[in-house]
């Protein structure tokens, strides 16, 4: 199904930039490609003024208020760091230290993160991470998780999402339908999960089912042998499971298509993911020519993807009123064990 004739549809990609400001070639490319949105990395970040200017340039290139996302989980995976932004302990360690007040602490943590993102023009965060940690989870992922049981992951994930949304930042839950059993790093290899379907449904899929009403989600590059031999990102069976069994009808973006868990040209990777049912292809850390290749293969969003994209954008709202200094003080009190409720 294609988008309505004559209507302006977004390009079915999310793209990045090479440096601290857009090059003339990037401005021209983005103007033509009209990606749904952009993603930032540490190489794009220097000072608040510089970052705000870069976000302005990205939106000006496409002529609209395109969403700009970032991986700001805290811990090892956060692109904005001190001295201009807060540094955080890894989510797993943070939640464990917070103990009985972990939900409130996670809400405050991500409400503060949302504030720091919005003031520089970023309005999406690739969180919450709803992967359930196991003893065998690869180190690239394990301490980025929230807990080792699906109920706790879902509760903390809900707190993360609420903190981001309250701060005017769209959450992107990941990695659907669950990456916690991966024993390989999908940046380098293709993980294969051998768990039975009943176990996957009871554990791995459960947090995503609980938060299926969130506006955006990201797939994972791993194989579930009980379901298909293709990576979830490129598997029609797994995308149908995400839609029909998990119940997610938000905008579904791929994880970074440049990761070595996938094979083939970047155009072929993008096309396979979109043909499987993903709405938008994320390609990062590649040359301008490779970004152009993926963009041409991806084309424009389908009507269904465009409708999901517009619903996701409609979920953006102005941040609620908050005293950030007071929020930081409250979080410090929580973590020191002096919570008064």
Name the residues annotated as catalytic: 187, 255
Beta strands in the chain (DSSP E): 11-15, 35-40, 68-70, 72-74, 77-78, 124-125, 170-176, 192-193, 216-219, 223-224, 251-253, 281-282
- The CA-based diameter of the chain, rounded to the nearest angstrom, is 60
Cα–Cα dist 36/300, whole Å: 9
How many other CB atoms sit within 10 Å of the CB of residue 230? 15
- Nearest CA among 223, 305, 334 for reference residue 11: 305
Give the pair of three-digit tokens for residue 59: 């939106």
- Nearest CA among 177, 182, 234, 166 for reference residue 201: 177
Exposure of 165 in the CB half-sphere (CA atoms within 13 A): 18
């Amino acid at each position: 199904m294609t988008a309505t004739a004559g209507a302006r549809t977004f390009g079915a990609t999310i793209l990045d930039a090479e440096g601290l400001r857009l090059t003339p070639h990037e401005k021209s490319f983005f103007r033509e490609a009209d990606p749904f949105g952009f993603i930032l990395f540490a190489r794009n970040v220097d000072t608040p003024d510089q970052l705000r200017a870069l976000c302005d340039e990205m939106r000006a290139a496409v002529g609209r208020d395109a969403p700009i996302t970032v991986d700001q989980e805290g811990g090892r995976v956060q692109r904005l760091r001190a001295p201009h932004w807060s540094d955080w302990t890894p989510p797993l360690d943070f939640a464990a230290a917070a103990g009985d007040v972990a939900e409130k602490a996670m809400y405050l943590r991500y409400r503060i993160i949302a504030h720091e993102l919005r003031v520089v023009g970023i309005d999406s965060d690739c969180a919450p991470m709803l992967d359930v940690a196991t003893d065998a989870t690869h180190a690239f992922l394990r301490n980025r998780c929230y807990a080792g049981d699906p109920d706790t992951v879902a509760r903390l994930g809900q707190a993360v999402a609420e903190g981001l949304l309250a701060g005017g930042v769209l959450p992107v839950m990941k990695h659907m339908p669950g990456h916690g059993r991966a024993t390989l790093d999908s940046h380098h290899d293709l993980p294969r999960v051998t768990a039975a379907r009943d176990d996957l449904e009871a554990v791995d899929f459960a947090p995503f089912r609980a938060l299926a009403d969130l506006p955006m989600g990201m797939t994972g590059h791993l194989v579930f042998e009980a379901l298909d031999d293709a990576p979830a990102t490129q598997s029609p069976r797994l995308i149908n499971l995400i839609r029909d069994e998990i119940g997610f009808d938000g905008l579904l973006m791929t994880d970074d298509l440049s990761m070595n868990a996938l094979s083939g040209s970047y155009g072929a990777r993008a096309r396979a993911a979109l043909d499987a049912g993903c709405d938008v292809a994320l390609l990062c850390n590649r040359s301008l020519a490779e970004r152009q290749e993926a963009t041409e293969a991806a084309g424009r969003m389908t009507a269904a993807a465009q409708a999901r994209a517009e619903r996701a954008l409609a979920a953006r709202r102005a941040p609620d009123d908050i005293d950030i200094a007071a929020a930081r003080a409250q979080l410090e009190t929580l973590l020191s064990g002096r919570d008064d409720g």
